[in-house]
Amino acid sequence: MPTNRRDFLKAATAAAFTCAASPAFAQNIPTGERINMAVIGTGSRGMQHGVGFAALPGVFVKYVCDVDDGHSAAAVKSVGTKAAANDNTPAPKAIRDLHEALADKEIHAVSIATPDHWHAPAAILAAAAGKHVYLEKPCCHNPHEGELLVAAQKKFNRVIQHGTQRRSWPKNIEAIEKVKAGEIGKVLFSRGWYANNRPTIGKGKAVPAPANLDWALWQGPAPETAYHDNYVPYNWHWFWNWGTGECGNNGIHALDLCRWGLGVDTPKKVTSSGGRYHFDDDWETPDTQFATFDFGDKLIQWEALSCNPRGVEIASGFGAAFYGDKGTLIIDNGYTIFDSKNKQIAKEPDSTGDQVHFQNFIDAVRAGDQTKLHAPIEEGYKSTLLCHLANISQRVGRTVHVDATGRIKDDDAAMKFWSREYRPGWEPKV
- Beta strand pairing status for 269-275 and 187-195? unpaired
Lowest mean pLDDT across 201-205, 319-323, 349-353: 349-353
Nearest to 104 by CA among 37, 56, 4: 37
Beta partners for 60? 36
- Percent of the chain clearing pLDDT 90 (strictly above): 89
Statement: residue 184 has pLDDT above 50: yes
pLDDT at 17: 37
Is residue 99 within 8 Å of 220, Cβ to Cβ? no
pLDDT at 32: 83
DSSP single-letter state for residue 250: I
pLDDT at 23: 47
**In sequence order, what are the residues at sequence separation of 6 or more whose Cβ sits closer than 8 angstroms to the Cβ of residue 2?**
8, 10, 11, 97, 99
Statement: residue 1 has pLDDT above 80: no
Give the three-state DSSP class for 247.
Answer: helix
* pTM of the complete model: 0.94
Question: pLDDT tens digit string along 227-248?
Answer: 999 999 999 999 999 999 999 9
Q: Which region holds residue 186: left if phi is over 0, alpha if psi is between -120 and 50, else beta?
A: beta
For CA atoms 413, 416, 417, 418, the dihedral sign is positive
Beta partners for 226? none
What's the rounded Cα separation, in Å, for the pair 354 and 365? 17
**Domain boundary assignment for the chain:** 5-166+356-373, 170-202+217-352+384-415
Do 170-202+217-352+384-415 and 5-166+356-373 have the same topology in CATH?
Answer: no
| List of E strands, 314-414 | 318-324, 327-332, 334-339, 344-349, 400-401
Statement: residue 138 has pLDDT above 70: yes
**Which overall architecture, per CATH, does domain 5-166+356-373 show?**
3-Layer(aba) Sandwich (3.40)
Is residue 258 within 8 Å of 320, Cβ to Cβ? yes
Would you call 342 exposed, middle or buried from its count of C-beta atoms within 10 A (0-12, 13-18, 19+)? exposed
Statement: residue 61 has pLDDT above 80: yes
Question: pLDDT tens digit string along 364-388?
Answer: 999 999 999 999 999 999 999 999 9
Q: pLDDT tier at 21 (50, 70, 90 boundaries)? A: very low
pLDDT at 121: 98
Is residue 428 within 8 Å of 148, Cβ to Cβ? yes
Residue range 170-202+217-352+384-415 in CATH 3.30.30.60: no
Q: pLDDT tier at 20 (50, 70, 90 boundaries)? A: very low
Nearest to 199 by CA among 234, 249, 225: 234
Q: pLDDT tier at 2 (50, 70, 90 boundaries)? A: very low
What's the rounded Cα separation, in Å, for the pair 301 and 171? 22
| List of E strands, 156-247 | 160-162, 187-195
